[in-house]
Amino acid sequence: MTVSVGLIGFGYWGPNLARAIAATRAGDLAALADADPARLERAATRYPSARVFSDPKLLLDQAEVDAVVIATPADTHFDLARRALNAGKHVLVEKPMARTVGQAEELARIAEENGLVLMPAHVFLYNAAVRKVRDYIESGELGDIYYIYSQRLNLGQVRRDVNALWNFAPHDLSILAYWLGMTPERLIASGFSYVQNKIEDVVFVTLAYPGGIGAHIHISWLDPQKVRLMTVVGSEKMIVYDDTSADERIRLIDKGITRKLILEREQPSSALGDYETFGQFQLLLRAGDVLIPKIEFDEPLQLEVEDFLAALRDGRQPLSDTQSGIEVVRVLEAAQRSLDLGGPVTV
């Protein structure tokens, strides 16, 4: 079964999605839509077999289109995804899936009622290094997870429609949810606007998860270097995941602090003539080997598109499922509320 796919949006990320769709055997890039005439001309030149439309509504009217991929500004995701689902199309929508939890839940309801796949594009869930880190966490090799911190920094790609939180943090939040399998209970966010008024270029989010697990996210599009770094600190071992590294994406580090129980004797009892013992903990630094595991790396975007097509073919949820999209929006909405209020909030 070859799925006929329509792509809405041929701007920054759209060309990459078009390439991935065209490269898969399971899908056929049948239609493209973009309101910008220059972009539409480039799309038509690159994919001459696809029909092109300046209005996405016309693309959604095409009966032969089975599924729609949405790569447009964040504020348009909800309306376009809702229209596509109501038109009977399966939907892969770029992050964030919507701008509010209410919108995300409405999309989920429409998809379920119509038996359609609704997939948020959390592309890092298809990253082999991210999956490897999850394997280490689930195996217990790291011990108890203490905290995770993330840096996602760059210079450029300044957005006008959303701040750095809504632009970058969906990646980190989807990874944290994938690794930990839970939603934070509370968080506090702070941000700073330098380039544009009331659009935060730099955001810091500190999250508290059940079981005392902490996480911290630092995101910025106003930084001198590109950084895609996440560190997981456990009671037994630690992991550094560097997405910008060509050959050391993961380092498993055998370092930590061990509490060693020391038994000592008290003075002999004059009455009984024997000894009593008491215990105290001594904190010992432990430093062992550093392991750099070999990772077979396939392009995450290609895997994401293929999982979407396989999900609608097999009638199942993809790895990046609807509920994960809702939960990411839930945390984003809470973080924005914290930014606006200037204090901690519950999620």
125-255+285-299+331-346 architecture in CATH? Answer: 2-Layer Sandwich (3.30)
Q: What is the pLDDT along the chain (347 residues), one digit of tens a residue?
A: 799 999 999 999 999 999 999 999 999 999 999 999 999 999 999 999 999 999 999 999 999 999 999 999 999 999 999 999 999 999 999 999 999 999 999 999 999 999 999 999 999 999 999 999 999 999 999 999 999 999 999 998 889 899 999 999 999 999 999 999 999 999 999 999 999 999 999 999 999 999 999 999 999 999 999 999 999 999 999 999 999 998 899 999 998 877 666 666 555 554 445 545 566 666 667 778 899 999 999 999 999 999 999 999 999 999 999 999 999 999 999 999 999 999 999 99
This prediction's pTM: 0.92
Domain with CATH 3.30.360.10 in the chain: 125-255+285-299+331-346
Q: Are 215 and 169 in contact (CB under 8 A)?
A: no
For residue 156, the model assigns a pLDDT of 86
Cis before 96 (ω within 30): yes
For residue 289, the model assigns a pLDDT of 86
Cβ contacts of residue 294 below 8 Å, gap of 6+? none
Strand spans (E) along the chain? 3-8, 27-33, 51-53, 67-70, 90-94, 118-121, 145-155, 186-192, 202-208, 214-220, 222-234, 238-242, 250-265, 277-291, 345-346
Nearest to 311 by CA among 140, 151, 90: 90
Superfamily name and number for 3-122: NAD(P)-binding Rossmann-like Domain (3.40.50.720)
Domain with CATH 3.40.50.720 in the chain: 3-122
